[in-house]
């Protein structure tokens, strides 16, 4: 086992986009597990828009990352030393291990994964929190019904690309994705199976929604907030369900923009509900089984945008999310693997 553990720690709270000075790269000895613990060599780190919110001070659904702490992140890796009866050396695992090369854990929240069935990066995407967020957000919060017209924003991203596919698998009448640029829109219809794609960079989103959803939107799965949320609110069908999963357009704004067209919820007798995947932990196994079945049968496409590098590449990799570079799940691979 290497003697050095490189880490990325939060050095300052960003104002707007995170800067290089908001991070510090540190090193310490690789942690040795105590009784009831095990050490993990991290191979792949999940890079998520939610990370930007975790960097802010103040109350949220999880405590903020403290100044000087290792940056919070979901990751996969292999157990290299164990004093825990439930985890053996060589086990492949997922957990919130942080942006570092090695982590020590007591097993809380850690899931064993089978990398013979899918690559490690897939367990950060379709078979990880990404896929579970799409699954529960659409089916439970969104209450998808057969024949529904579904619109997904941030549709070429990690959660959005899975959400649209689940909608089709569960009998949606029409699935429309909103994304930025012709390449992403092409991926939506040709790779992920969406019925239509709207390029928000190309023009009038409201006009495109009138064309593609003439009877209105039954389920809107929102990953971006801002202007696009306002646009979709004007096209709700009666009884529509709006799922607030994220608001990537607002994460780096110093003044967050709320929905101006919220009264359309009243007009359409619609609902707007926030969702967090952590509320469904007791249902993870059955959801993962269904997702894995679809993936095995070729019915679900899992696309990962893997950046190969070191933990020191994390700050720049995070910025890729806000530049719209990635299609599918963004992952930082520390071991040069897939």
Report residue 51 as tokens. 């990370």
pLDDT of 320 over the 50 cut: yes
CATH architecture under which domain 129-278 falls = 3-Layer(aba) Sandwich (3.40)
b/e per residue 74-83 (b: at least 16 CB within 10 A): bbbbbbbbbe
> What percentage of the chain exceeds 70 in pLDDT?
99
pTM of the entire predicted model: 0.93
Helix (H) or strand (E) holding 82: strand 75-82
pLDDT of 49 over the 70 cut: yes
**In angstroms, rounded to a whole number, what is the distance separating the alpha carbons of residues 4 and 41?**
11
Over the stretch 121-153, which tens digit does the pLDDT of each residue have? Answer: 999 999 999 999 999 999 999 999 999 999 999
Over the stretch 232-285, which tens digit does the pLDDT of each residue have? Answer: 999 999 999 999 999 988 888 877 888 999 999 999 999 999 999 999 999 999
The answer to whether 225 and 250 are in contact (CB under 8 A) is yes
Three-class secondary structure of residue 300 per DSSP = coil
For the chain, the domains span 4-125+302-333, 129-278
Three-class secondary structure of residue 158 per DSSP = helix
pLDDT of 336 over the 70 cut: no
The answer to whether 178 and 184 are in contact (CB under 8 A) is no
Q: What is the pLDDT of residue 1?
A: 47
b/e per residue 167-181 (b: at least 16 CB within 10 A): bbeeebebbbbbbbe
Residues whose CB falls within 8 Å of the CB of residue 223, separated by 6 or more in sequence, listed in order: 49, 152, 153, 154, 155, 157, 159, 160, 245, 246, 247, 248
* 2/258: higher pLDDT: 258
Q: What is the pLDDT of residue 253?
A: 80
Secondary-structure class of domain 4-125+302-333 per CATH: alpha beta
Q: What is the pLDDT of residue 254?
A: 75
Summarize the confidence of residues 106-112 as an average pLDDT.
95
The answer to whether 40 and 78 are in contact (CB under 8 A) is yes
Residue 36 φ/ψ, nearest 5 degrees: 75, 15
Over the stretch 144-199, which tens digit does the pLDDT of each residue have? Answer: 999 999 999 999 999 999 999 999 999 999 999 999 999 999 999 999 999 999 99
């Amino acid at each position: 086992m290497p003697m050095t553990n490189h880490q990325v720690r939060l050095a300052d709270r960003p104002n707007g986009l995170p800067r290089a000075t908001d991070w510090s790269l540190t090193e310490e000895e690789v942690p040795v597990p105590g009784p009831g613990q095990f050490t993990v060599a991290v191979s792949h780190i999940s890079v998520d828009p939610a990370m930007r919110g975790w960097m802010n001070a103040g109350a949220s659904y999880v405590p903020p990352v403290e100044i000087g702490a290792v940056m919070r992140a979901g990751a996969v890796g292999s157990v290299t030393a164990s004093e825990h009866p439930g985890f053996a050396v060589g086990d492949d695992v997922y957990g919130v291990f942080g942006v570092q090369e090695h982590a020590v854990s007591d097993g809380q929240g850690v899931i064993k994964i089978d990398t013979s069935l899918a690559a490690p990066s897939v367990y950060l995407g379709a078979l990880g929190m990404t896929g579970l967020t799409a699954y529960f957000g659409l089916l439970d919060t969104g209450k998808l019904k057969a024949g529904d017209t579904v619109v997904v924003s941030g549709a070429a991203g990690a959660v959005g690309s899975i959400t649209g596919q689940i909608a089709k698998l569960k009998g949606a009448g029409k699935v429309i994705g909103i994304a930025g640029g012709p390449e992403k829109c092409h991926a939506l219809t040709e790779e992920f199976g969406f019925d239509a794609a709207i390029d928000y960079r190309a023009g009038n989103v409201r006009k495109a929604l009138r064309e593609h959803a003439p009877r209105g939107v039954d389920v809107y799965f929102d990953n971006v907030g801002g202007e696009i949320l306002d646009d979709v609110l004007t096209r709700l069908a009666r009884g529509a369900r709006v799922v607030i999963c994220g608001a990537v357009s607002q994460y780096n704004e110093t003044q967050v923009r709320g929905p101006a067209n919220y009264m359309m919820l009243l007009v359409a007798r619609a609902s707007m509900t926030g969702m967090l995947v952590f509320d469904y932990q007791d249902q993870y196994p059955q959801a993962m089984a269904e997702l894995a079945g679809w993936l095995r049968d070729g019915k679900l496409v899992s696309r990962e945008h893997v950046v190969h590098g070191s933990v020191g590449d994390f700050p720049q990799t995070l910025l890729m999310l806000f530049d719209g570079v990635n299609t599918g799940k963004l992952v930082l691979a520390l071991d040069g693997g897939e």
